[in-house]
Amino acid sequence: MTDDRGNSVSSVGPAGAARVTGWKEIPQAGDMVLQAESEAQAKSVVNHRVEKRKNKSQLASISSMNDKRRETHARENIERAEEKAHARAVREYYQGIRSSYPDPLEKKDGSEEGVGNPEANKPALLLPIIVKGDVSGTVEAVEAALGRLPNKKIKPVVLNTGVGPVSESDVAIASSSEQCVIIAFNVKADKKTQNVAKRQKVQIMSSRIIYKLLEDVEQLMLDRLPSVFVDDLQGEAVVQQIFDITMKGNKTASIAGSRVTSGLLTKSAKTSVLRNDKVLYTGEISSFKNVKSDIFEASKGQEFGIAFDGFEDLRQGDVIQSFRQKELPKKLE
């Protein structure tokens, strides 16, 4: 340690200046220098201050995280309250208490669902549910799980909840709502209540496993969805020649002599006639024969005569298509 003239000194008083060399770590401008009786004491003091500074930094970080957590919690409470109010309004609408469906909730990004269409948020179908459980926590968990199911096509709506076994009053509430189902989670319904439910045609779903319950509810939702059918091409034929035959009462009818080129044609199926890829007729077959015998189907390579209800403009080369209705698999969204 040297003074401002370069002379070695052993101590420096207040406001004195000195140059200190031999640092293990170079201090920064503004750092506080403390003198201790020994190196061990100095290390102990330094370690204590470093730990104190680290704790202070951690406390500040924790405080910031807690502030953010409180803000998030408050926002979620507000959103949850809005969702509950909206669900209650939906139940009231379904029960006939409200005359109109409630306005949709605003999206979290500030935009609004169904702008210009107040019922754009309304699903096509509702599945009314009453939830009964052994304890309030179980009931809340089941209700929350139901709220997370896909609900664009059909939406589960909890009309009422309660703790304890299914009662006759639960069945009465369910019977007042069309196709309402009662979920009994970890609880039962006595024989009398079951008989009342059977007479009122109220379904009671009993379960002790949450995932199995949700699978059953999803299947029930699928069962409630309307079936969707599409026309599936099952066969084609080509008209080879037109024959005019005399029917009863000296009436003349045109019969198209045809051959099946692919698949299968059936008399009961929906049938179309195409010419140059343009559909001329779609309807039912009035006459379907092989030679003089009535037939109900014709397979690839088989020849037959055919006529249609209300359509006789058949020409050589026309294509006859036979369709069967195919049910599309139902799915939740």
Among 130-144, 184-198, 241-255, 287-301, which is the least confidently predicted range? 241-255
List the helix and strand counts (H, then E) for the chain: 5, 13
Categorize the per-residue pLDDT at 68 as very low, low, confident or very high, splitting at 50, 70 and 90: low
In this predicted structure, the answer to whether residue 227 has a pLDDT above a threshold of 90 is no
Supply the pTM of this predicted model: 0.51
Q: Which of 201, 200, 198, 196 is nearest to 167 (CA)?
A: 196
Q: Are 116 and 94 in contact (CB under 8 A)?
A: no
% of the chain beyond a pLDDT of 70: 84
Which residue(s) pair with 270 in the sheet?
323
What pLDDT does residue 274 have?
A: 93
What pLDDT does residue 114 have?
A: 42
In this predicted structure, the answer to whether residue 111 has a pLDDT above a threshold of 60 is no
Q: Which of 109, 105, 62, 107 is nearest to 85 (CA)?
A: 105
What pLDDT does residue 228 have?
A: 84
Dihedral class, residue 50 (left if φ above 0, else alpha if ψ from -120 to 50, else beta)? alpha
Average pLDDT over the chain reads 82
Q: Looking at per-residue confidence, does 83 or 212 come out higher?
A: 212
User: CA-CA distance, 316 to 257, in Å (whole number)?
Assistant: 9
Query: What share of residues in the chain are helix, strand, coil (percent, to 5)?
Result: 30, 30, 35
Summarised one tens digit per residue, pLDDT across range 264-301 is 999 999 999 999 989 999 989 988 998 888 999 999 99
Q: Looking at per-residue confidence, does 329 or 90 come out higher?
A: 329
Q: Which amino acid is at 100?
A: S
Residues of 121-152 as b/e, b for ≥16 C-beta within 10 angstroms? Answer: bbeeebbbbbbbbeeeebbeebbeebeeeebe
Q: Tell me the range of 113-117, 151-155, 265-269 where mean pLDDT is highest.
A: 265-269
User: CA-CA distance, 277 to 194, in Å (whole number)?
Assistant: 60
Helix pair 168-175, 191-200: axis angle to 10 deg: 10
% of the chain beyond a pLDDT of 90: 35
Q: Which of 91, 115, 116 is nearest to 102 (CA)?
A: 91
Length of the chain: 333
Categorize the per-residue pLDDT at 208 as very low, low, confident or very high, splitting at 50, 70 and 90: very high
In this predicted structure, the answer to whether residue 170 has a pLDDT above a threshold of 50 is yes
Is residue 308 packed enough to be buried (19+ CB in 10 Å), middle (13-18) or exposed (0-12)?
buried
Which residue(s) pair with 253 in the sheet?
245
User: CA-CA distance, 173 to 165, in Å (whole number)?
Assistant: 15
Summarised one tens digit per residue, pLDDT across range 186-201 is 999 999 999 999 999 9
User: CA-CA distance, 243 to 314, in Å (whole number)?
Assistant: 10
DSSP secondary structure code for residue 292 in this structure: T
